Amino acid sequence: MLKNLYQNFILKYPIRVLSLLLIAILSFGYYATKLEIDASSETLLLEDDVDLKFSREMSKRFQGENFLIITYSPNGDMFSNESKEEIQHLNEALEKLPLVKSVDSILTVPLLLSPPKAIKDLVDDVKTFGNSDVDSELVKNEFSINPLYKGNIVSEDFKTSAIIVNLHKDQKYSVLLEKRNALSTAKTDVQKQELQNVSKEFKTHRDEQRLIEQENIENIRAIIAQYQQNSTLFLGGVNMIANDLVVFVKNDLLIYGSTLVLILIVVLWTVFRTLRWVLLPIFISILSVISVSSALGFFAWEITVISSNFIALQLIITISIVLHLIVHYNELLSKYPKASNHRIILATILAKGTPTFFAIITTIAGFSSLMISHIKPIINLGWMMSTGIALSLLIAFIVFPTVMVMLPKLKIKPKKQSKKEHFSFTQACSDIVKKDKRSIFLVTAATLVFSLTGASMLIVENSFINYFKQSTEIYKGMKVIDEDLGGTTPLDVILTFKDIDSIATDNEEVDEFEDEFNEDANSEQYWFTKEKMDKILEVHNYLETLHEIGDVQSLASILKIGKQLNNNKELDGLSLGLLYTHLPEKYKKLILSPYISIPHNQVRFATRIVDSNDELRRKQLLQKIERDLSNIVHPKTAEFKLSNLMVLYNNMLQSLFDSQIATLGFVLLIIAFMFLVLFRSLKVALIAIAVNIIPIGIIFGFMGWFGIPLDIMTITIAAIAVGIGVDDTIHYLHRFKDEFAKTGNYMKAVERSSNSIGNAMQYTSVTIMLGFSILVLSNLIPTIYFGLLTMLVMFAALIADLILLPKLLVIFKPFKKASKDAPQE
């Protein structure tokens, strides 16, 4: 069937076939313009995470703000008139930006202890450093003892302060997001159509807002740049990280594409020294990249940090397909110099059709296994690359023969005679297999020990700050916030009291309160009971003991300040009620509303994790907090739940481990099935699986021994590497089977296979390794790890396929002996 297709159609009408393919690719190429990048926090979350809904609900309830942070470190004194004036000008410039709602700094936060005074006097006259002539020494003293500000808005050494840029909430985004999430389980056709419409509207609005937010960040950076002469300023915040990630991904795509093409040109010329074998593979690869980019645009699969290397993957896989065709064509050309070009092309396609098809199917299986994950970007990467690889196979097996049949037959270049024997890597591997009796298995055993011990030390961990190179502005800014201003990753503890305590019944207290303030008592004022306040203080104080946590803010911070204001006596419920009801709204939103919700009988403890702490282990920390709080908070009194980004990110990280096991198991089962179908031998299938487990083990061993964590990028390496690496195993076994049928001798089959298909394996592996080496140019550390580890696994796979695989074939002899009539060599 394949022979008839090529003989009677593709090779018979090459111009028509090639023209139709090019027209289709270029027409479909319109969708490549719709290719988009998504670097939002949504890409780091599990789609079905129950904690995600709770976190969003709590953010809405406790008025979670969307903000950016500017770290300000003046060359002089933080509290000098010069610094005060500079911060004031900076605040005014920022407040003029259309997206900025307000700006908080040391000039605008309420001063509660400068000097200390009674609650009634405080709520009637709240001072700030910016709107009063409060002595700077008093202010400095307050920032050193006020738990709301110490190590939070000002560093403990007073060298750095935070300028918080509060942004206007995007209400439309929130409404559309809620609608989309509510319809995510749509079952009826009407609901599905509504989901499609809402998703489209959400995406359109999000893309528009991205451009607006990008402009806003650029404007803020332009303002910051004006003050860098006398101070050091860095910009931080979720929006800034998302914006910079998009920039990094765009740069990576440009670098990967252009640099990799240059590397491939150099490699192809070095190996073949023929212009045709440089231009044709590059042409096929470019068509492949255009096709897969169009597919991404058509299916609305957005590029994320995880899939930012898709161009590199696509180019590398396409080149590896074409290289096998080129090597086999050259081999046939040397073997049958008088055969027609048409016949050599047809023989090449027929010979490489089956092994290449099965090799590509296993590669697709490797990428398809990523769809088992619950993380949308990883799932999408599986879809992207599975589609792209299928397109690469189709394009390569159409363009290669149609172009080659239209070109004149290549002339065989005479080999230069030399008295010196040139080193041959494949021959060296063949000699090792032939002469070695024990070393191969001793090295294999040592490798297994290395792998198992390393894998036992593998951790599932990563921090946001470690995503970036230390030379980047984003890293420097996050480092300052992390170390000097209370940490970066938010973790909330939500405490829900079981029963609403009865309103205070102390009539004398009530009468005194009414006489003093001459107003009706509001029931909210009496929510602040001693039992609640004691429990809030106990939880707050516990959280402050954890060295992994930087800043802790809650109602307890106000309780501690109140104690200082009340002659070192704890505030009673009525005083707290007064503060809650009479504090000006703009200050209430800053120091009270984010931490209590009286209608829901809830309090919030807002903490930030020191993300740069090398000893941080998220899972263990969260488990410890839950275990300890279960002893502090009695279930009859209240319930607690952990929330916010720390929990969501940890859930994603922990799912990686389960996904890794599931994906690897899936890939190995698929590969075993492929080998059974292709070679109809259980022994061959087991040998092939054993050979391909070694490179995976080396990767996990290497990661464990060198402390490289399993994260959202490195999880994909094993499945991808197996999918790509097993290609060589298939090609070698297919060739070995043919050579053994000719010779009937295992050692001769090894030598002939290694010196024929072994060369193609060597070229493709070196090309893949060099291709992945460009990932070290990325600004993202996980991408760099991905590139280096993939290079390592491809090298390990090549060695295993050229040494361990043939050795196992020689020992276990899985193929039937040739008949007596078989040609002997």
Q: What is the tens place of the pLDDT at every residue in 533-568?
A: 999 999 999 999 999 999 999 999 988 888 888 778
pLDDT (mean) for 140-151: 89
CA distances from 615 to 546, 651, 713 (A): 12, 19, 21
CA distance 636 to 488: 33
CA distance 213 to 635: 44
- Whether 92 has a pLDDT exceeding 70, the answer reads yes
Partnered with residue 72 across adjacent β-strands are 161, 233
- Whether 528 has a pLDDT exceeding 60, the answer reads yes
Instruction: Output the pLDDT for position 664.
Output: 76
- Of 686, 367, 644, 699, residue with least CA distance to 490: 644
CA distances from 777 to 124, 126, 248, 263, 265 (A): 58, 53, 11, 14, 19
Q: Tokens at residue 192, please?
A: 């599905």
629 close to 539: Cβ distance less than 8 angstroms: yes
Instruction: Output the pLDDT for position 723.
Output: 72
Q: Which residue has the higher pLDDT, 165 or 421?
A: 165
Amino acid code (one letter) for 93: A
**CATH node for 2-40+274-411+434-463+651-812:** 1.20.1640.10
For the chain, give the mean pLDDT: 85
546 close to 605: Cβ distance less than 8 angstroms: no
For the chain, what percent of residues have pLDDT higher than 90? 36
**Could you tell me the pLDDT band of residue 443, with boundaries at 50, 70 and 90?**
very high
Partnered with residue 375 across adjacent β-strands are 46
Q: Which residues contact 560 (CB under 8 A, 6 or more apart)?
A: 147, 537
Q: Phi and psi for 628 in degrees, rounded to 5?
A: -70, -40
Beta-carbon count within 10 A of 367 CB: 26
Q: Tokens at residue 698, please?
A: 């080396």
CA distance 700 to 697: 5
Instruction: Output the pLDDT for position 535.
Output: 94
Instruction: Output the pLDDT for position 41.
Output: 66
pLDDT (mean) for 19-34: 90
Instruction: Output the pLDDT for position 508.
Output: 44
Partnered with residue 638 across adjacent β-strands are 497
Give all strands (DSSP E) within 119-250, no chain letters: 161-167, 231-236
Residue given tokens 């910009």 in the structure block: 235
Q: At what angle do helices 376-406 and 715-743 cross, to 10 degrees?
A: 40
H helices present in 69-135, as ranges = 81-95, 119-124
Encode pLDDT of 618-662 as tens digits: 889 999 999 999 999 999 899 999 999 899 888 887 787 777 677
Domain assignments of the chain as residue spans, ordered by start: 2-40+274-411+434-463+651-812, 47-242, 482-643
Q: Tokens at residue 720, please?
A: 């991808």
Q: Which residues contact 523 (CB under 8 A, 6 or more apart)?
A: 503
Encode pLDDT of 563-587 as tens digits: 888 778 887 777 787 778 777 777 7
CA distance 785 to 421: 38
Instruction: Output the pLDDT for position 419.
Output: 46
Instruction: Output the pLDDT for position 499.
Output: 66
DSSP letter for each residue of 454-483:
HHHT------SGGGB-TTSHHHHHHHHHHH
Beta-carbon count within 10 A of 662 CB: 15
Cis amide leading into 806 (omega within 30):
no
Q: Which residues contact 143 (CB under 8 A, 6 or more apart)?
A: 106, 149, 150, 153, 154, 158
Q: How many residues does the chain have?
A: 825
**Could you tell me the pLDDT band of residue 368, with boundaries at 50, 70 and 90?**
confident
Q: Residue 777 burial by CB count (10 A; 0-12/13-18/19+): exposed, middle or buried?
A: middle
378 close to 370: Cβ distance less than 8 angstroms: yes
Q: For the stretch 484-509, what's the b/e string if a residue is b when 16 or more beta carbons lie within 10 angstroms of its beta carbon?
A: bbbbbbbbbbbbebeeebeebeeeee
Residue given tokens 């009859």 in the structure block: 636
Instruction: Output the pLDDT for position 642.
Output: 96
List % helix, strand, coil for the chain (3-state, nearest 5).
Answer: 65, 10, 25
Encode pLDDT of 814-823 as tens digits: 987 654 443 3
